[in-house]
Amino acid sequence: MSMLGLDQSESQRPSCPLAASNSNRLNVRWWSLYHVEVKETMQEVPLPEAIPQKLAERPITLLAPGRFIYYSEISHLLPEQRRGVACDFYIEGIEKDDQDGQTEKRSFGHIKGRITNVDHHSPIPEFCRRVSSGNLALRYVAEMGVVAAEDPVFINHTDCDSILSSAIVRGILPPLPEFGEAVIAADHTGSPNPIADLLQALDSHKSVATSLKWLCAYMHGMPLDEPTRCRVAGRQAERQSIASLVGAGRFQPIGSGVVVCVLQEGDMNAELTVSQLPEAVAIVVGAPRLGGKWTIRTRLGLAAPPGLTFNEIAPDKFVDPLWGGRWNAGANQRGGGTVMHPVEWAGRLATRIEQMLQPQATAAHV
């Protein structure tokens, strides 16, 4: 069996687990694992060779990642008399009326002045659930149409959600429901999804053109190059490795539905843990780093009761001041890590959750 569960004999096994392409079956998506035929709607997806021209006509601007972005910064990037759309990154305070103007809340995000923020990171109740920017982009196009070619579209990272949301509002990709399913798998559940796994694997390229090229190739049932197939195979292998850790009991229950996995080396995509630990309220992964410190990654589990989010838990106030994140995910990597052992970290998180859930349990008992 290959790492993807496909039968291969030793003589047939390629150097990369996905090196054998389906180039002779162009009417079938490039890996057979998902058994999904190319649909007629995929004809709306551009061919991969058309992507450079599409991006030249309707560019997507990649901003610097990993920092706060303010309305004034984006507004200064707009051509005179033009509007702009920022996809899948939070513009600080976009949800509030302030000196920059009044905010109009819409089903797809927020509009302030000449800027529309199609983004699920805004700290409002409507977005503290399993919704991603790609879903909001589908709503945007349904209500507003695609962004005019003269109006800039911005992203600040190149994961599945950023690529799909920006390309949908730009009119480069059609508003297919498959894209909405992919961003949920990428952002929230970590479940196997061919589009999510492909684009998440390509994120390290930091290239809009590369990600769109191989996405369109996949959507048309065309073979991908070996490096791309190997990247996807690596993501699939990591998902299987996590399943092995779960099966071996490496995710230790701490209390209040919190589980923790302490890695001896390397790191882990915590997003891939969620669907494999369906009874967890919160998932903590500790990865060692230099200087005796730990990178802590957290995910809200599928068993978290309604209303319980990291916004309310506030790990940065009650557990680790270096933690940062959104309602269902976070880490302390950008803060430099912590000397606190992951088990102690998870214990403090469990105590905080227990304190929050006690009033609910008391009310339910009464």
User: Which band of pLDDT confidence, cut at 50, 70 and 90, is reported for residue 228?
Assistant: very high
CB 295 within 8 A of CB 331: yes
Same domain, 83 and 158: yes
- Per-residue pLDDT, averaged over 21-31, amounts to 34
Residue 330 CB: number of other CB atoms within 10 A? 21
Distance of CA 298 to the CA centre of its chain: 14
Of 238, 266, 289, which closes a domain? Answer: 238
Check residue 130 and give its pLDDT.
86
| Position 193 pLDDT exceeds 70 | yes
The answer to the question of residue 243 being in a domain is no
Same domain, 228 and 285: no
Check residue 32 and give its pLDDT.
38
d(CA 174, CA 216): 11
What is the tens place of the pLDDT at every residue in 106-146?
A: 999 999 999 999 999 888 888 878 899 999 999 999 999 99
- Per-residue pLDDT, averaged over 302-324, amounts to 94
Regarding pTM above 0.85, the answer is no
Distance set, CA 45 to CA 59, 123, 167, 178, 326 (Å) = 17, 33, 11, 12, 32
User: Which band of pLDDT confidence, cut at 50, 70 and 90, is reported for residue 20?
Assistant: very low
Same domain, 189 and 299: no
Same domain, 177 and 267: no
- Per-residue pLDDT, averaged over 175-198, amounts to 95
CB 219 within 8 A of CB 229: no
Q: How many domains does the chain have?
A: 2
What are the structure tokens assigned to 154, written together?
């911005």
Same domain, 69 and 192: yes
Phi and psi at 326, nearest 5°, equal: -115, -165
| Position 17 pLDDT exceeds 90 | no
Same domain, 38 and 186: yes
Burial of 5 (0-12, 13-18, 19+ CB in 10 A): exposed
The answer to the question of residue 42 being in a domain is yes
User: Which band of pLDDT confidence, cut at 50, 70 and 90, is reported for residue 30?
Assistant: very low
Phi and psi at 79, nearest 5°, equal: -60, 155
The CATH code of the domain that includes 298 is 3.10.310
Check residue 101 and give its pLDDT.
86
Question: Percent of the chain scored above 70 by pLDDT?
Answer: 86
Domain containing residue 52: 32-238
Same domain, 40 and 179: yes
User: Which band of pLDDT confidence, cut at 50, 70 and 90, is reported for residue 82?
Assistant: very high
d(CA 169, CA 315): 34
| Position 33 pLDDT exceeds 60 | no
Same domain, 75 and 111: yes
